[in-house]
Structure 1
Amino acid sequence: MSDDRETKPALALAEPPKRLLQRHAVRPGRWVWVLFGLQFVCLIGIAFQLRRRPTADTMVASADEREQLRATALALEERSLSRAAAETWRAYLRRDPRAADRAQLLYRVGRLFLESEDYGAAVVALVEAEQLAADDTKLQARIGPKIVECLRRLGRYGEVGRELSRQVEVDAQVTGRGAVLASFAGESFREADLDRLIERTVDRALALQPRGGLEVQREALLKQYQSREARQQMLQRLLERELFSRRARELKLDREDDFAADRQVLETELLANRLVSRELEKIQPTDVDIESFFAAQQDAYREPETATVTALKSASAAAAAAQLKQINSGDDFRRLVEASAQQEAETTFTLSRGRSHPELGDVSTVFELEVGAWTKSPVVGRAGTWLALLQSKTPGRVPDLTEIRLRVAADYRMRKQQELLRGLLAELMDRYDVRILDSAAQPAESGGGQKNRESHKPNKSE
């Protein structure tokens, strides 16, 4: 048996091949995973930076885009497209958030939204502009009234009072505005405010006049408003207008279609008058202009021959003929005048050659008389029959320029205004390609058979 143990082979079970490989495989260390992670992060960072890094072409394109937006906004403003211009300026500011003139542009955006009646958007832009313009007192002074106007248009009258109080606390510019005349909804109305209202009222009235150079008339009108009664009337009109308009906005009357149409008509008239006034300001005659105009128009300023007469009025032609028989001299004529029933009435008249008198009518026969002579036959006028005694004659003359300089200057200005407006109209008709159709001046034919015939456009030489 011992031999059997010695000859038995020594057998042992080995590990399976797969498990043996797993057992002897080398696992990577933690530092390898850290290295892989760092490399991955670096690659992502490099890719992100390369993507964000602007090239020269993209920088130029961005600058070109901003310039294009700015030019577009200005062009829209010139065409009175306020809302579109405001939105374009907004887009410009989004492209250039660090613009040096951001506060001024935001004020511009607010003003444009105010013009387009988007008062909420206007307040947002104005408030942001006010925050950025902390060191610009001039800009702040322009922003404040616009915010107040927006709040008024929105019907937030309580906020109007608070906003005005805040502005007063900020700049404290109340001194010099005079005493408080009235207050409503927290808003104070002072003497200086009334003065500005009077000036604007007078200026608007004069702006509708066709003639310029109305400084003297302006001063005279302003002087009329210096009395206590006139100022009280103006204040009363202001309060009525303000309170009535506030109530109308509360009732949404400004949202009605016919109100918008009426406002459009009024706006058109105001804009047209403002353009005309601005153009007429260009007419500033010099001394040489006035002297040359006077020299060329002397016949227009020639004063006619005048005559001073004493008139004897009669009830009829027969009565005048009877009176003539009693007149042998000028003294006889005067005695009859004194003895007549017209003692308290006017008997002395100044007549002009070639001009009819409102009472005596045609007075041409008087200028055929010599001084001291009287009419030898009754004359029938508008006020009855009369006789006349010629007291004196003054020959016609051209007055010196110093006597009528204001009149000549006004006539010169009127002539130049007419020429300027005709030229301006012709220029604008050409600019906007206006053509007037012949049929516009003709009554419409029944059946609509009339054809429009295009007339020529007026030119500057016409």
Structure 2
Amino acid sequence: MMQGSKHATISEPRGTPVRRKPPKKIFDRKSTFFSVAVLLLFGILLFVELRGRPTPPPSDGGSGGVRLDYRALAGKLKAVGLHEAAAQAYERYLEVGRDLTPESAARIAYTLGKLYLDAGKFEAALDAFYRAELYDPDSELSGEIDAKIVHCLERLGRGVAAQYALDARTRVGGKGDETKRSEAVVARIGADTITRRQIEEAFAALPPYLRKRFEGKEGKRAFAEKFVAEELLFRKARKLEYDKDPE
């Protein structure tokens, strides 16, 4: 020992290698198994998600798509009595039809309305007939469309005269420059009908002092409501033979 030194220093023998800890593995067995399990679970979830999605409908045209003729499909479904399915096909045709003119669109909508009528869906039928009217206001089917609208309103429990007054369908004292409009059916009782022309003629036959009571747009509408209501009541009474004298 050396004097003046409190601690003795022991040195390792020269040439002895220093022990180092082995490098830590980035992926051991446990982490590898966990990663594989996560990927497998993700793949299963993706497969279930894709399988659960509805198959997209056939393309209606465009690049790489198969064009489906919905009008032809509707005709086939209608021929076998599948009215609701045929109506859905016509609805789709109206949505995607690229070559539709106002006239053809009105005819399709009119056919669609009749299909809904046959299926007993009066609200959907009324919607289709209104669309037919809007597609082509001057359609040659306007009289039939008006009649079908009245029928739908009757089946839905709506007042025929009131509904036609609200929709401005009855224009008494108008120009009457279109014969087909004047012959439009306003109300129907079985096989009997009330046309716009009948209301106009009844209005013209009023004495001057009575005609003044129905002047203006609202007055003419009120007269139309009154005429239709009275005519409906009279014809129903006649059919029930209430107008016969029991003696």
For Structure 1 versus Structure 2, the TM-score category normalised by the shorter chain is 0.3 to 0.5
Of Structure 1 and Structure 2, the greater strand share is in 1
Greater Rg by CA: 1
* TM-score normalised by length of structure 2: 0.46
* TM-score normalised by length of structure 1: 0.26
